[in-house]
Amino acid sequence: MIDLHCHILPGIDDGARDLSESIEMARKAASQGIRTIVATPHHLNNQYENPKQIILEKTAELNRQLQQENIDVKIVPGQEVRIHGELLKGYAKDEIQPIHNSNYVLVEFPSNHVPRYANQLFYDMQLEGLIPIIVHPERNQQINEQPDILYRMVEKGALTQVTAASISGDFGKKIKRFTLQLVEANLTHFIASDAHNVKSRTFKLREAFDIIQKNYGNEMVYLLQENAANVLNGYHVYKEVPEKIKKKKLFGIF
């Protein structure tokens, strides 16, 4: 398996505190069948910067350590970029790190709203050949209340990635229900761990895919896993036609 979103690099954001915790996380990932992890430290989120060059250096260092420990997990560079109006300028200055060698960029919204300029930014990104992947939209308050916001973004070419722990219920029943609605409505394209450690914010990918298989079958599992591989290789992802989530379904029960 491939994990597209993980805070495994040591000591640079709110993920692994040090190298020993990074190694512990890698062992945990390997036990779940994860063989490739995209290291995605926060960029421009509160006190964290982590421009591209630092991520490349830290990724190379961690890979060397994992080889010494004989842990069969490969780390590739990525970045979780907090949305900001100067994002494309940061890309031009080589501060933005897309996933591996691709043109896919993980973009994070504030937890309580979607900035008004997001649609224009995503349009401009796509003109530059970059494809935005909105991370954990299920945990955004405004999207949860107004899912049509996400529908319009996906319709216009943005992709989304939900968190495995949202599917497993770690963030509560409401978020689990909404996350499964996003899957059902073709409003998400990837599942990733967003793991920060091995205790309170761990991987949960295997558990999440078991739930997806039970609810939507092997074909959906294959599509989501294949999409992660396609992103890593810089290929096009599989996209089904998105559907609107009816407001009344937000109060239903799966």
User: Over its length of 254 residues, how does the chain's per-residue pLDDT go in tens digits?
Assistant: 999 999 999 999 999 999 999 999 999 999 999 999 999 999 998 789 999 999 999 999 999 999 999 999 999 999 999 999 999 999 999 999 999 989 999 999 999 999 999 999 999 999 999 999 999 999 999 999 999 999 999 999 999 999 999 999 999 999 999 999 999 999 999 999 999 999 989 999 999 999 999 999 999 999 999 999 999 999 999 999 999 998 654 444 44
- Residue 210, CA distances (Å) to 21, 48, 128, 139 in order: 27, 34, 37, 21
Q: How far apart are CA 127 and CA 191, in angstroms?
A: 26
For residue 178 the two structure tokens come to 């909404």
User: In which region does residue 194 sit, left (phi positive, over 0), alpha (psi from -120 to 50) or beta (all else)?
Assistant: left
* All structural domains of the chain with their residue ranges: 2-251
List Cβ<8 Å contacts ≥24 apart for 146-149: 147/178, 147/181, 147/182, 147/187, 147/244, 147/245, 147/247, 147/250, 148/244, 148/245, 149/114
Query: Strands 36-39 and 80-82, how do they pair?
Result: unpaired
Q: What is the pTM of this model?
A: 0.95
CB atoms within 10 A of CB 165: 25
For residue 229 the two structure tokens come to 């591989």
Contact 77, 101 (CB under 8 A): no
What integer pLDDT is reported at residue 250 of this predicted model?
42
Q: Find, among 146, 134, 85, the residue nearest to 109 by Cα.
A: 134
| 68 membership: H or E segment, kind and range | helix 52-68
For residue 184 the two structure tokens come to 């059902």
Contact 139, 163 (CB under 8 A): yes
CA 161-164-170 angle, to 5 degrees, is 125
Q: Find, among 9, 11, 26, the residue nearest to 198 by Cα.
A: 26
What integer pLDDT is reported at residue 247 of this predicted model?
61
For residue 59, give every residue at least 6 positions away whose Cβ sits within 8 Å of its Cβ, in sequence order, or none. 9, 39, 75, 76, 77
What integer pLDDT is reported at residue 24 of this predicted model?
97
- Residue 166, CA distances (Å) to 92, 95, 124, 169 in order: 34, 30, 30, 5
Instruction: Domain 2-251: give its CATH code.
Output: 3.20.20.140
What integer pLDDT is reported at residue 254 of this predicted model?
43
* Single-letter residue type at 109: F
Buried b (16+ CB within 10 A) or exposed e, 40-61: bbbbbbeeeebbbebbeebbee
